[in-house]
Structure 1
Amino acid sequence: MIEILGRIFPKIYHEKGWTVGSEILFVMGLILLIAICNFTNVVLQHSDKIPATAEGFGMMLLFTAIISFFPAVTFVWFRYYRLNHEYSRPAKVMETELAEELQTANEETAIVHHFLTLMAENGKDKVVLTPQNLCYIEADDNYVTVVSQEPSGKLKKELLRSSLSKVESQIQLTYIRRCHRSYMVNLQKVYKVSGNAQGYKLHLWQVAEPLPVSRGYAKQVVLAT
Structure 2
Amino acid sequence: MIYKSPIGKYLKCVIPTIVSTGETLTYALLLGLSSYLFLIVFQPFGTYNFDSAYKFWLLSGYGIIFALAYTSVSILLYKKQWTIGVELLRISLVYLLASFLNFFYHSYMINHGLLLWSNLPYIGLYTLSLYVPIGSIYFLLRIDRHRRQETKNLMPVEEVCLVPQHEFKEIDNSYLNVINIPNGNQTFTLLRSDFIFAKSMDNYCMIYHRKGDTVKKQIVRITLVRLDQLLNTTTVVRCHRSYLVNLEKIIKKEGNTQGLLLHFAETEDCALVSRSAVGTVGSYLLQARL
Instruction: Tell me if TM exceeds 0.5.
Output: no
TM range (shorter): 0.3 to 0.5
Select the structure with the greater relative contact order (CA < 8 A; seq sep ≥ 6).
1
TM-score when scaled to structure 2?
Answer: 0.35
Q: TM-score, normalised by structure 1?
A: 0.44
